[in-house]
Each structure stands twice: as structure tokens, then as C-alpha cells.
Amino acid sequence: MSRERIVTGEPINGEEESLQVSLRPDCLRDYVGQNELRGKLEVALQAASGRGEAMEHTLFYGPPGLGKTTLAHIIAKEMGATIFATSGPALQRTGDLMGILTNLSDRDILFIDEIHRLSPIIEEFLYPAMEDFKVDFVVDKGAFAKVINVPLKQFTLVGATTRAGMLSAPLRDRFGLFYHIDFYPPEDLREIILRSSKLLETEISSEAAKVISHRSRGTPRIANRLLRRVRDYTEVKGNGKVGEQMAKVALDTEGIDAIGLDNLDRKLLKVIIEYYQGGPVGIEALGATLNEEVDTLVDMVEPYLLKIGFVQRTKRGRMASSKAAQHLGLHLPGNAAQENLF
């Protein structure tokens, strides 16, 4: 079943993605949150700049909407380099990648989003480019085939993935720097919301920003999306200034509760608790019961529920926690509660 979820970390459409770009920080100094990652990245950038070299190939991994693409653009800005952005599914032929690689200058950034979705042929073509800054390009076929060795400038490959486990070992081993981006705490999201509100020329109280931050599922993209929804609601129903109560009413109207759960999250938890007595239940059975794609549940619904301890993955299937039942005002069956070790 296809539906628009405003609490997904994925971009909803191209228009929203363009707006997100306008809200991105340009430099590491303005990047909010992920302090440990930011400190390590700052050292790597300064060291590479000091030597006048390209930075090591870098991999960012973590849930969608947390700032992997933003960090890639910041690296390019800090290095004074140009960034060429593409994605794993977009690179179908070696010729596509060859055209990009030969146009890169020293210290330029090649950013590949969804890098876990690269085809094996493209991956193998990348190996010598990443290691030795050269590629072997085959011209013609059969008896007339020739291999041309093409040297490349020293560039930095920045990869982003939501599924680091799906990267092949040879590709993963060629990255020198690995950074995991985790969900943001509410206090960092509050700073992001206040910063974005200034860029959007929206007047918002600190208390309203706090309300939005607690309902943003630890994800900056969702925080900015909810801020815009609250702004629109306030312009129509209020006086244009976003206050605490107006933020609560606006988000309640959108079906987003106090901790960021939407209707699909609540339906999933209710099915586990009421229909399957708290679990365990297989993800395929949940998908069939909810009439949802399994990939939707695994990639877009489960990560946050796992993060806040409302769902547990076990060998026998998914289980709901007593915390989830309490939040929904439901009763968790006794035997499920005994197995539940939250």
C-alpha cells in the first residue's frame, strides 16, 4: 500500500529535497549534533588540507535523513573542491562512471548515495580507481579488444548507505574512514529547528521548537518537515507565530503523537500486541496483516521503534515491549510480558 508518511527519513518529493538543500549548513562549524563524528571529521579535513592532499575515501552509514549527503557537501566545501553527486542505481554502465571519473580534478569529491546498490561490474571498475587512481577501460570486443590504462586525478570517494551490511567486503575495505551517523537527541534537533526557522523566516518559540524536536524521531529531515507543516498550520489557523500549544495541535492534527509515532507505527504495535499477543511474530506475517510491503516495515517503520525500545527482534520474530503497550494504553498478555526483557 502506497502512502505518504511525513515521519519517514526519505525525501517525499523533489520539491521537498530542493528546500532541504536550502536549509543545509555550508561548513562543519554550523553543523549541529554528532559531536564525536564532527570532531574526527574536522581532524581528517585539516590533516588532508595541511598536506595538500585529497582526503581518504569516506563512508557514512546510518538511517535516512540524518545528514549523510549534507556531510558530503560540507567535505567538498571545506576542501575547496567540487562535488559530483550520483547514486548507486544511477550507475548502470562503466561508461557512465568513466565519464565522471575522468572529469574529476585533484581533491574533488565523488559522492555516491545508496552505494550498497552498485552493480558488481561498477564495483570492480571502482577498485583500481580508489586504490591506484587509474582505471582500465576496454575498447572494442573479441579479438579486437584493447585495454587502455587511464590515469585519474587524486579524488575522494564519499559513499553513503543505510545498509552498511550489504556492502561487499572488497568495497568496504577500500574506504579509509568510516562514520556512523546515529539518531539525534531532542536538544540537538531543537537547535536545528531554531536555525531552520530563521532561514524560513518563521517566528517560533523555544517551547514550540522543543515540542517539534520530541516528535521528529531523532531525524533532522523529519524535524524540518514538521516545522514546515506547523508553520503552514499556524499561518492558516493562528497569527503566524508558532507557539507551544499551536505546535501540539498542528502535529496532533497530522497524527503525530508526543514521541513521534504516526498511524502506521501505532497500527504495527497494536497488531503485535492485540492480534499476536505481544509476539513473537514474523515480519512477513506482519506485512500480510497490515497489507504493507515488508521492506517498508523493515526500512521505514522498525528502526525508530527498535531505537526507543518499543519493538525487539528475536530469532522467532518481532515482539512488542511493555513500554509500547503502556504508551498505547493497551494490555500486554502475561506470557509475552514475562518473555519481554526490556
Please give the positions annotated as active site. 68-69, 113, 162, 221
Show the cell assigned to 155.
579524488
Show the cell assigned to 262.
504516526
220/191 Cα distance (integer angstroms): 10
Q: Are strands 317-320 and 311-314 parallel, antiparallel or unpaired?
A: antiparallel
Q: For residue 138, what are the β-bridge partners?
A: 147
Residue with cell 549541529: 32
SS3 141: coil
144/129 Cα distance (integer angstroms): 25
DSSP run (H or E) holding 111: strand 109-113
Show the cell assigned to 80.
575547496
Closest listed residue to residue 286, CA positions, set 307, 271, 264, 306: 271
- Distance (Å) of CA 157 to CA 12, 61, 77, 130: 27, 14, 15, 7
> How many CB atoms lie under 10 A from the CB of residue 170?
11
